[in-house]
Structures are given as C-alpha cells and as structure tokens.
C-alpha cells in the first residue's frame, strides 16, 4: 500500500491521542504497540472487505485449512512487511523518537500451537495470502496459549501463557453474525417426519454457542487479505437456565481455555474430543451457510469449497459434513457422500503410533451420538464396498474405521477424503510402504507428497535483517519478492570479499545472541566458539540426549587432556517438554546440570559451554536461529516427519548436522554432500533392526569404553545436583534397550562432530558452505508448497 511518513504520523497520533488519550512521550511500549496495531488495522480493513466481496462476486472456490493449532508468533512486523510499509513506519518512529524494537517486543507471541504442526499452519496462512489463493484458516481461540516455561533449579516449571493480558488480541474482530450452535452429548434416535423423511431427534443434548473471531492474514505486497477464523465458546443465552451451576458454566468455557500441550503423544481425553468437534462443526456450518448464499446446489459444494484436515485433530470433518448435508439440509446419502469425499483432504504429520488418534467408541458415542451413528454407517458401507471389490478380508479389517471398540480418525480422514499427503519425501514413502500400506494398496491415487516449507520473509527479511541487507549488496533486492533469485548468490561462492562479509554478519548475529545469553543466564560465551544449536520440542525420538552424550564425551576428553586441540563450542538448547512427559523433563534437568558442571569448570578453559534458553517460542527462534553455526537435526532416521526448523537454519547460513531423516534428505539434495554433515543409520538400517530384533544397547555399552564412561556419568556422581534423573536416563539407555538407537549412532555422531570441528577451522571453507546453504534454501519456501497444495489438492484459482 501507499503511505507517506507524514500521513502515518498523523494516523498514529490520532490513534494514540483520541483512542488512548496519551501523548507519545508518556506512552509505554505496550501502549505504543496498541496504538500502532490499531492504526494498521485501519489500513487493513478496506482490503479485507474488498477481498471478501470480490470472492463472493466471483464465486471463487475457497480452501479452508482446519487446524487445532496455529502458531504465528508476533504479527506486527510481518504485517508491516507484507503491507509494504515497514520502512515508512520505522522512519516515522525515528522522527517521533520512538524505539521500534521495544514496541515490537511489547507484542505477546500468539502461541496457539505446540511446535512444527502449528507453525506450519501459520506459515501456510501467510503463503496463501501471498500467493493470492483464497485459503482461510479455521481453528480455536484458546484463552491460554502453550504454557510458559521457567527453569527453576534445572527443572521445567509450567506457567499459564496469559497472552490476552488485559488488552485482548488487537488483531482480531468478533463476528457476531456468524455465531452458530454446536450440539454435544445426549441421545439421538431416528424418527420419520411429516414429509416421510428420516430425521434425528436429540434428547438431553447440550448446546454450545460458537463465536468466531477473525484475524487478518496479509499477503506480501499484493493487497490481499485472507482470513484466519478462530472459534470461542460461550454459554448460549436462550439456554442459560439449562446450565444453572457455576461448575457447568466453567465446564463450557473450559472448552476453549487451554491448548493441549502434548506434542507427538495422544491421550483420549473427552475435553480434547469436544474441542476437536467444536471447531470442526462450527467451521463447517458457517462454510455451508456461506456457500448456500451463492444460490448453488449443495450436491456441488466441492466445486466451490475444499476442506483440509491438518493431522487427525479435525478428522471428524467428513462425518460432520455428511451430517449437516443430510440432517440439516436433507441431502440423500449418495449425493452427500460424493460431495464429502471430493471436498475433504488430509495431511499426516507423524508416523509415531502414539500420536495417531483413536477414540474409545463408548466415549465417542457419548459425546457425539449422532456423528457416531454416521461413522458406523460409513464404516459399514466401506466394508461392503471393499468386499464387493474383492479386497482381501484382512486388509479391510486393517483399514476400517471402527474396530476393537475404537474409532480410527486417520482412517476416517482417508476414506472420507480424496487426498492424503505426507510432509517430506521420505515421510510419504514411509506412509506408503509401512504405516498406511494397506490404504496405499486400496487407494494409490489418493497418496501424494507435499514437502513442508517456511516463510522466508519472517526468517530472512525480518529475523535476519543484517543478512538480508548483505544479500541486497551482492545480488540486489529482487530476491525479496522472488526468493528463487537467491540462487544468484552461487556466482559468488568463491568471492573472498562476499564470503568474508557473510562470515562477519554471522559473527554479529552471534554477538547479539551472546549478549542475550549473558543477560538471561549469566553465562559468558565467546563468539569464537562454534554455536551449535538444537531447538525444538523435547522428545526421545529427536534425541537431545544424543547431543548430551557427545557433550559429556567432550567433557571427559578435556578432563583427560586440557590441551585437547578443539575449536571452542557453545551448545545451545531450547525445548519445552509436555508437562506429563517424565523422560523429557529428566533430559531437561540433565542438560541444565551438565551446563552447571561444565560452565563453572575452569580447567576446561572455556572450550565447552552449555546453555539452555528457557521458554523456546517463535520470537526466541528469531533471535537464536540467525546466530547458529551448526543446526542439530539428529532424530532417529524415519521418525521426524519433516522438520521445519532445519529449513530456517539453512536459510540463515547454518551448516546442518543431520541424520537421513525427514526433510534433511531434501536439504542434502539441494546443498550437495559437501555442504552438509550426515551421520548415523538410514531408515533401512533402522527398519532392519525392527525386523530382525537384533539391537542390544548393552552390548554396545560393554564393548565401547567411551560409551561406557559417558553413560556411567549419569549414575556415578559426575553430574551434580541430580536425583533420580540420572538413573532414569541410564535405564532408558541400557535396561530398556535404548528405544531410539542412540548408542548405535553415537560413534558416527562423534565422527561427524569432529568433521564439523575441522571444517570450521577454515573460515573460507565454512563461509562457502554457509553461502551455498543460503543460496539454495529457496527450495523450501512455503509459497511453493502452497502452490502445490492449491494446484494438486485443492484445485484453486487465484
């Protein structure tokens, strides 16, 4: 948009003076942020309205991305960048004597997500608007975001993330005219009405009022504003007498109170099922209503509407869609089913069996009696159709929706939709060959891959402004609009000056992070050290513990030989553990205690430092990632569906130290073998162990003195101030046979780390690797990922 500095200053002062009655000089950063956000909202509103009217007028097809998590982080700077007014606003603030950075930091992260899945959903919202496709989000407006992590005495403590504060979310707009009712519980029987139609009759069900709040999603310099719709629950006015007790009222408002803090593990909790149904039903009801306003027949809704199921959390969608089409609008099964399958599509984000949602049939039936009836009918028809097609009976049994008194949500999503995709090449292969093998045999045409991506604008232009400016110097600014121009950097891979400049920019980012580390943890780190970073959710399969084993190995090396020739290292961790995930919490404690051990040991001569940064989140990632030399992507091969931080590190010039897992493989394909450091078993070797049952961690432990010494450190008093945590780790590794094969990968990990050490010694070599990583990271722009979803799955036009 066009905006002059003078106009902005007038608008901003109006917002501050008239709406908040404050003078610039007196305002706190939070007040300034509020005024700025309100000013921006005024700029956005006309574009937002125009977009909606245009889509209605053109009867364009819209894709709706249903996700139980959206993790945008801070929105201010992205919004300004995408509107094309970031520089104008910064200039305006300079003139007013306001520090932009402190204002931007006053915004609380919007943390309605756990990790990769939620962050990806937010990235897709940005890319949908940027590519200009009509794609809207549908999720939950949680009162509290993902818990805030504090580290106390080395332990994780969880505090509520009161992200609304007293001021609420400035970006959202409540939409009363789209309020709908959602029914849960009670009993349902079928009856024949006057027209001779079979209709469900509900008894004793509870009605929830679903209230939508819309958050604008602004495209990059294209004037397009899409919509992210988040649902809140309220007590329906006309039913107020039906919910007399405070307890019952609280039960209702609890539905949107908290985001479940579990990442990669699933618990069949009633409240979670209600959350999932609540946002799915509310979203589908309003989508169908707005489609009908166009005066088109419901049988053809799939021509104008796509519904995407992000992981299984909204996978009740096919059944709910059928229910609405039949019960509320009188469609026959065949027509309703045809429209449903053509409307729905599903992405799988994990092969970990503990993360695949299956609901206890009794629970499901008690919460969603009518939907359960419909699911039974879908299941019944599926079994009959497959039998008629001559599909093998055991295969039918494996793939049906309801079996062993459980409702298999992934099965519903696959049977009830036309597309199922994985999130990286390897992951999709594993789905086809292993996890969903029988489905692949039945519906090969439904399977496809969509490798994840990241929003380059946030991770390069915003989070790494100094690097962005350096890139401008070398190849001009065209890459800011067309990320593929980054490849032009490859022409400079032997240019000493360019390499030196990039190296310097990285050092400066490290200095900024070093200051932050000193301020927040009191640990002094040298920027001559390799900044070796692992930031992601704490999970056994991600193997933060393998990283720690290597740190202990270095510790013992240095204790034995203080003059060991090594480049100093700073190991930086950031990770939240699910509050009920005992093992993960023990690993956090141990990282912190190893940090205490090494950071205060003078004999190590500062060659080894360990830092755990608390409360890892999007805004902290924006500080950490640009400062990384080494990106640790060390999950056991086959376990990490894709990973997306790996792409962010690559884009800001870190060297990836990785197993052949998830998108690491595709990163390797882009940068070439010489510009990444790979170690460990590949997925075939891992699977071979599973098939042959021939993994014995104790044998590895007994045969290898280095492993023994490192593992013993957990139980022999080496690490101070620990209780049972050390022996728990020891038992996981030795007694319980090391589920994620850390010990088998240990030696090759150590060798890979030694290679990193050697490579880093030659600044030019390192800077060249780094430049090649940056130059080829365009491969992972989420704009391209969305382009593929739009063309190949949703069939959208822009």
Q: Which residues of this protein are in contact with ligand 26W, per CB under 6 A?
A: 114-117, 120, 262-264, 266, 311, 349-350, 355, 357, 423, 452, 640-644, 662
| Closest separation in Å from C-beta 69 to ligand 26W | 8
User: Which helix (H) or strand (E) segment is 56 a member of?
Assistant: helix 29-58
DSSP string over 704-760: -HHHHHHHHTTTSS-STT-SSHHHHHHIIIIIT--TT-HHHHHHHHHHHHHHHHHHH
Of 108, 141, 304, 542, the active-site residue reads: 542
Instruction: Indicate the residue whose CB is closest to ligand 26W.
Output: 116
Q: Is 526 helix (H, G, I), strand (E, B) or coil?
A: coil
| Closest separation in Å from C-beta 604 to ligand 26W | 34
Of 74, 119, 148, 349, the active-site residue reads: 349
d(CA 316, CA 325): 14
Tokens 């399969």, residue?
541
Nearer to ligand 26W, 204 or 353 (CB): 353
Q: Is 531 helix (H, G, I), strand (E, B) or coil?
A: strand
Tokens 């519906």, residue?
443
At 391, list the tokens: 């599909």
Contact 233, 252 (CB under 8 A): yes
Distance of CA 557 to the CA centre of its chain: 38
| Closest separation in Å from C-beta 17 to ligand 26W | 44
| Closest separation in Å from C-beta 560 to ligand 26W | 38
| Closest separation in Å from C-beta 663 to ligand 26W | 7
Nearer to ligand 26W, 369 or 662 (CB): 662
Distance of CA 166 to the CA centre of its chain: 27
Q: Strand locations in 219-316, DSSP E? A: 225-234, 305-310
| Closest separation in Å from C-beta 699 to ligand 26W | 31
| Closest separation in Å from C-beta 464 to ligand 26W | 21
At 568, list the tokens: 């100093």
Contact 378, 322 (CB under 8 A): yes
Nearer to ligand 26W, 144 or 337 (CB): 144
Nearer to ligand 26W, 162 or 267 (CB): 267
Q: Torsions phi, psi of 755, nearest 5?
A: -65, -40
d(CA 775, CA 258): 40
- The helix-helix angle for 544-560 and 742-761 (nearest 10°) equals 60
Tokens 């009759």, residue?
201
| Closest separation in Å from C-beta 120 to ligand 26W | 4
Nearer to ligand 26W, 145 or 726 (CB): 145
Nearer to ligand 26W, 339 or 667 (CB): 667
| Closest separation in Å from C-beta 378 to ligand 26W | 22
Nearer to ligand 26W, 304 or 427 (CB): 427
| Residues 520-529 as b or e (16 or more Cβ within 10 Å = b) | ebebebebeb
Read off the DSSP letter of residue 245.
Answer: S
Nearer to ligand 26W, 120 or 344 (CB): 120
573 bridge partner residues: 534, 612
Nearer to ligand 26W, 92 or 113 (CB): 113
At 597, list the tokens: 């051990």
Nearer to ligand 26W, 424 or 655 (CB): 424
Q: Examine the residue annotation and report whether 648 is marked as an active-site residue of this protein.
A: yes
Q: Torsions phi, psi of 464, nearest 5?
A: -130, 65
| Closest separation in Å from C-beta 483 to ligand 26W | 20
Alpha-carbon distance values, 333 to 328, 379, 409 (Å)? 13, 14, 21
Q: Examine the residue annotation and report whether 302 is marked as an active-site residue of this protein.
A: no
- C-alpha closest to that of 117 among 622, 642, 637, 490: 642
Q: Examine the residue annotation and report whether 504 is marked as an active-site residue of this protein.
A: no
Contact 160, 147 (CB under 8 A): yes
Of 644, 652, 656, 785, the active-site residue reads: 644
Nearer to ligand 26W, 67 or 306 (CB): 67
Alpha-carbon distance values, 282 to 139, 429, 613, 770 (Å)? 10, 34, 39, 47
d(CA 581, CA 388): 45
Q: Is 66 helix (H, G, I), strand (E, B) or coil?
A: strand
d(CA 532, CA 490): 25
Distance of CA 645 to the CA centre of its chain: 10
Read off the DSSP letter of residue 436.
Answer: T
Q: Is 114 helix (H, G, I), strand (E, B) or coil?
A: coil
Contact 231, 256 (CB under 8 A): yes
60 torsion bin: left (phi>0), alpha (psi -120 to 50), beta (else) = beta
Q: Examine the residue annotation and report whether 349 is marked as an active-site residue of this protein.
A: yes
| Closest separation in Å from C-beta 267 to ligand 26W | 8
| Closest separation in Å from C-beta 749 to ligand 26W | 20
Of 408, 411, 543, 648, the active-site residue reads: 648
Q: Examine the residue annotation and report whether 143 is marked as an active-site residue of this protein.
A: no
The dihedral formed by the CA atoms of 415, 416, 420 and 423, expressed in degrees to the nearest 10: -120
Nearer to ligand 26W, 116 or 726 (CB): 116
d(CA 103, CA 715): 48
Active site residue ranges = 349, 536-537, 542, 644, 648
């Amino acid at each position: 948009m066009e905006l002059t500095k003078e106009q902005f200053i007038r608008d901003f002062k109006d917002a501050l003076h008239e709406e908040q009655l404050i003078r610039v000089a007196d305002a706190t950063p939070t007040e300034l942020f509020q005024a700025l956000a309100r000013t921006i909202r005024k700029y956005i509103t006309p574009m937002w309205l125009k977009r909606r009217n245009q889509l209605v007028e053109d009867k364009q097809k819209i894709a709706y991305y249903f996700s139980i998590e959206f993790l945008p982080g801070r929105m201010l700077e992205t919004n300004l960048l995408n509107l094309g007014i970031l520089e104008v606003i910064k200039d305006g603030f300079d003139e007013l004597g306001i520090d932009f950075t402190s204002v931007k930091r006053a915004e609380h992260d919007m943390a309605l997500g756990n990790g990769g899945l939620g962050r990806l959903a937010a990235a897709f919202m940005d890319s949908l608007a940027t590519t200009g496709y009509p794609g809207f989000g549908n999720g939950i407006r949680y009162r509290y975001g993902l818990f805030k992590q504090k580290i106390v005495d080395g332990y994780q403590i969880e505090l509520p993330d009161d992200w609304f504060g007293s001021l609420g979310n400035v970006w959202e707009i409540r939409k009363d005219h789209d309020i709908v009712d959602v029914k849960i519980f009670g009993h349902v029987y079928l009856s024949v009405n006057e027209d001779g139609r079979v209709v469900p009759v509900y008894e004793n069900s509870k009605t929830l009022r679903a209230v939508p709040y819309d958050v604008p999603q602004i495209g990059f310099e294209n004037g397009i504003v899409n919509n992210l719709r988040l649902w809140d629950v309220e007590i329906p006015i006309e039913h107020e007498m039906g919910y007399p007790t405070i307890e019952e009222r609280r039960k209702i408002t609890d539905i949107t109170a908290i985001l479940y803090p579990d990442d990669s593990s699933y618990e069949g909790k009633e409240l979670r099922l209600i959350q999932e149904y609540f946002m799915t039903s509310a979203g589908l009801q309003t989508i169908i209503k707005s489609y009908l306003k166009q005066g088109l027949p419901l049988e053809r809704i799939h021509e104008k509407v796509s519904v995407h199921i992000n992981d299984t959390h909204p996978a009740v969608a096919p059944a709910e869609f059928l229910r609405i089409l039949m019960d509320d609008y009188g469609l026959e099964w065949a027509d309703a089913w045809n429209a449903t399958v053509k409307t729905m599509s599903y992405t799988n984000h994990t092969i970990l069996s503990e993360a695949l949602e299956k609901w206890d049939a009794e629970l499901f039936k008690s919460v969603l009696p009518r939907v359960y009836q419909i699911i039974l009918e879908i299941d019944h028809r599926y079994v009959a159709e497959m039998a008629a097609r001559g599909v093998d009976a055991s295969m039918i049994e494996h793939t049906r929706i309801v079996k062993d008194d459980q409702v298999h949500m992934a099965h519903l999503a696959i049977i009830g939709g036309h597309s199922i995709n994985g999130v990286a090449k390897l992951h999709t292969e594993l789905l086809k060959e292993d996890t969903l093998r029988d489905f692949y045999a039945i519906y090969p045409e439904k399977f496809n891959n969509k490798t994840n991506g990241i929003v380059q604008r946030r991770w390069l232009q915003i989070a790494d402004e100094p690097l962005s400016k350096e890139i401008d110097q070398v190849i001009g600014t065209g890459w800011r609009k067309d990320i593929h121009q980054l490849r032009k950097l490859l022409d400079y891979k032997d240019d000493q000056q360019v390499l030196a400049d990039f190296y310097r920019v990285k050092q400066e980012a490290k200095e900024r992070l070093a200051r932050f580390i000193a301020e927040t943890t009191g640990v002094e780190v040298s920027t001559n050290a390799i900044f070796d970073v692992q930031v992601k959710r704490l999970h056994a399969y991600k193997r933060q513990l393998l990283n720690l084993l290597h740190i202990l190995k270095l510790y013992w090396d240095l204790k034995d030989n203080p003059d060991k020739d090594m480049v100093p290292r700073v190991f930086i961790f950031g990770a939240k553990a699910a509050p009920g995930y005992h093992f993960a919490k023990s690993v956090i404690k141990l990282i912190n205690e190893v940090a205490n051990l090494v950071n205060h040991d003078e004999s190590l001569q500062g060659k080894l430092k360990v830092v755990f940064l608390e409360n890892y989140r999007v805004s902290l990632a924006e500080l950490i990632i640009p400062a990384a030399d080494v990106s640790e992507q060390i999950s056991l091969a086959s376990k990490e569906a894709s990973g997306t931080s790996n792409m962010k590190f690559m884009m800001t010039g870190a060297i990836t130290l990785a197993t052949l897992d998830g998108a690491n493989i595709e990163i390797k394909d882009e940068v070439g073998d010489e510009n990444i450091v790979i170690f460990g078993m590949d997925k075939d070797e891992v699977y071979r162990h599973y098939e042959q049952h021939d993994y014995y961690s104790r044998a590895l432990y007994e045969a290898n003195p280095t492993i023994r010494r490192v593992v013993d450190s957990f139980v022999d008093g080496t690490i101070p101030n620990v209780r049972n945590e050390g022996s728990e780790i020891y038992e996981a590794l030795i007694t319980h046979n090391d589920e994620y094969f850390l010990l088998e990968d240990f030696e090759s990990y150590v060798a890979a780390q030694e290679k990193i050490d050697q490579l880093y010694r030659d600044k030019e070599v390192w800077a060249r690797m780094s430049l090649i990583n940056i130059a080829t990271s365009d491969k992972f722009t989420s704009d391209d990922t969305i382009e593929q979803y739009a063309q190949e799955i949703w069939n959208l036009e822009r």
